């Protein structure tokens, strides 16, 4: 009888089968962990740049600037054409009531020319309704964001007072705002302007100039140049709303540039378009309120408020 120990094919001498989950050979390199903090983990990816989160070729950056500036200029162009339409309608009926004329101008010049252009552009890029809301950052502001609106207004007030003092010291001429002139001649219409700041002007202008112009720039540029370029475009387009000489208009545009920087900064910080819209509206509404008090209570105050106001309207 054969000794089982001498028979290599005997079941007792068959090598033990591996378990269902075979153990890796010891000489197989260990797979790196997904956690870069663990020993032997995958190499940590470089942190996203805080100065240029979307580095792109110079051509792409130039294209972003060209598109942003083009949209910023196209908005007032559409508003100008719409204003001509309101003027022709006014002439055709022999004169529209002032309130009706202002409302029509706001609808055409703000809802259509600014907000409408912004939404149309994003729709052309393929954004649906939810995508547009997400891109612009439309959401109910938090208490912190509302506090930022007030703080931003204080910053703007200080900036405007400082710049105005410098302008007075230099004796530089400033231009008048057409809307301010209409308000001064018709103070009863000023409450309508104040309401319009919150329902029309603030939201529509911020949707275009912060939401789309600054947003398009931020796709290719760092934060600082995007805010500066968008603010410059926003300030320059107000030349159309000013009256007076070239030097006065340029001075007023320079004044408008500073509030615009604050609008852009709070939008960049919060990512919520409602915040700069409220800040913009608050700034304008305060100036119209001061204008109203200055006109209506001129005798009690010993004079009237001037028409050369740093009003981003």
The yes-or-no verdict on residue 183 having pLDDT over 90 is no
Element (H, E) at 242: strand 242-243
Asked if the structure places residue 41 within a domain, the reply is no
312 close to 239: Cβ distance less than 8 angstroms: no
More confident residue, 221 or 25: 221
Asked if the structure places residue 197 within a domain, the reply is yes
Residue 303: per-residue pLDDT: 59
Q: Among 59-63, 143-147, 177-181, 276-280, which stretch is predicted with the lowest mean pLDDT?
A: 177-181
Asked if the structure places residue 220 within a domain, the reply is yes
Task: Give residue 274's domain range.
Answer: 58-301
Query: What tens digit of pLDDT does each residue of 36-51 get?
Result: 444 444 434 434 433 4
Most confident of 6-10, 153-157, 251-255: 153-157
Asked if the structure places residue 210 within a domain, the reply is yes
243 close to 185: Cβ distance less than 8 angstroms: no
pLDDT range class, residue 54, cuts 50, 70, 90: very low
Asked if the structure places residue 37 within a domain, the reply is no
The yes-or-no verdict on residue 68 having pLDDT over 70 is yes
More confident residue, 311 or 181: 181
pLDDT range class, residue 26, cuts 50, 70, 90: very low
Percentage of the chain lying above the pLDDT 90 cut? 60
The yes-or-no verdict on residue 32 having pLDDT over 80 is no
Asked if the structure places residue 51 within a domain, the reply is no
Query: What tens digit of pLDDT does each residue of 229-259 get?
Result: 999 999 999 888 888 788 888 888 888 999 9
The yes-or-no verdict on residue 76 having pLDDT over 50 is yes
Query: What tens digit of pLDDT does each residue of 157-176 get?
Result: 999 889 888 888 888 888 88
Count of domains in the chain? 1
Residue 307: per-residue pLDDT: 44
Spatial CA neighbour of 148 closest among 291, 8, 21, 267: 267
Asked if the structure places residue 45 within a domain, the reply is no
Spatial CA neighbour of 73 closest among 213, 182, 172, 206: 213
Residues near 21 by Cβ (< 8 Å), separated by ≥ 6? none
User: Which residue has tokens 């002139």?
Assistant: 181
Most confident of 31-40, 67-76, 300-309: 67-76
List Cα–Cα distances, 127 to 130, 132, 148, 189, in angstroms: 8, 6, 29, 38
Q: Which two tokens stand for residue 295?
A: 């006109």
Asked if the structure places residue 243 within a domain, the reply is yes
pTM of the prediction?
0.79
Residue 271: per-residue pLDDT: 97
Rg (CA), the chain: 31
Spatial CA neighbour of 146 closest among 261, 19, 274: 274
The stretch 99-109 carries a mean pLDDT of: 95
Neighbours of 84 (CB within 10 A): 11
Spatial CA neighbour of 304 closest among 134, 154, 187: 187
Percentage of the chain lying above the pLDDT 70 cut? 78
Residue 57: per-residue pLDDT: 64
Phi, psi dihedrals of residue 176, rounded to the nearest 5°: -95, 150
Helices within the chain (DSSP H only): 58-92, 98-106, 117-124, 129-136, 143-170, 178-185, 190-196, 202-206, 215-218, 223-236, 246-270, 274-296, 298-301
């Amino acid at each position: 009888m054969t000794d089982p120990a001498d028979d290599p094919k005997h079941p007792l001498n068959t090598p033990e089968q591996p378990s269902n989950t075979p153990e890796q050979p010891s000489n197989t390199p260990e797979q790196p962990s997904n956690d870069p903090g663990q020993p032997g983990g995958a190499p940590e990816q470089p942190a996203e740049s805080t100065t240029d989160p979307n580095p792109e070729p110079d051509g792409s950056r130039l294209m972003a600037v060209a598109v942003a500036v083009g949209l910023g200029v196209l908005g007032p162009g559409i508003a100008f054409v719409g204003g001509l339409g309101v003027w022709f309608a006014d002439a055709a009926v022999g004169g529209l009531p002032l309130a009706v004329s202002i409302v029509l101008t706001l609808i055409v010049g703000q809802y259509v020319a600014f907000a409408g252009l912004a939404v149309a552009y994003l729709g052309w890029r393929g954004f649906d309704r939810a995508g547009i809301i997400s891109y612009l950052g439309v959401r109910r502001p938090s208490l912190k964001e509302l506090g930022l609106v007030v703080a931003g207004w204080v910053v703007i007030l200080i900036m405007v007072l400082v710049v105005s003092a410098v302008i007075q010291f230099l004796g530089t001429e400033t231009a008048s705002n057409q809307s301010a002139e209409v308000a001064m001649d018709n103070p009863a219409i000023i409450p309508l302007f104040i309401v319009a700041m919150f329902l029309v002007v603030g939201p529509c202008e911020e949707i275009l100039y912060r939401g789309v112009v600054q947003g398009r720039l931020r796709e290719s540029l760092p934060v600082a140049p995007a805010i500066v370029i968008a603010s410059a475009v926003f300030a320059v387009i107000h030349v159309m709303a000013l009256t007076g000489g070239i030097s006065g208009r340029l001075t007023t545009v320079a004044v408008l540039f500073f509030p615009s920087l604050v609008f852009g900064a709070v939008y960049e910080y919060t990512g919520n378009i409602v915040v700069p819209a409220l800040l913009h509206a608050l700034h304008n509404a305060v100036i119209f309120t001061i204008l109203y008090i200055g006109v209506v209570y001129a005798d009690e105050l010993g004079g009237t408020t001037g028409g050369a106001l740093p009003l981003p309207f």
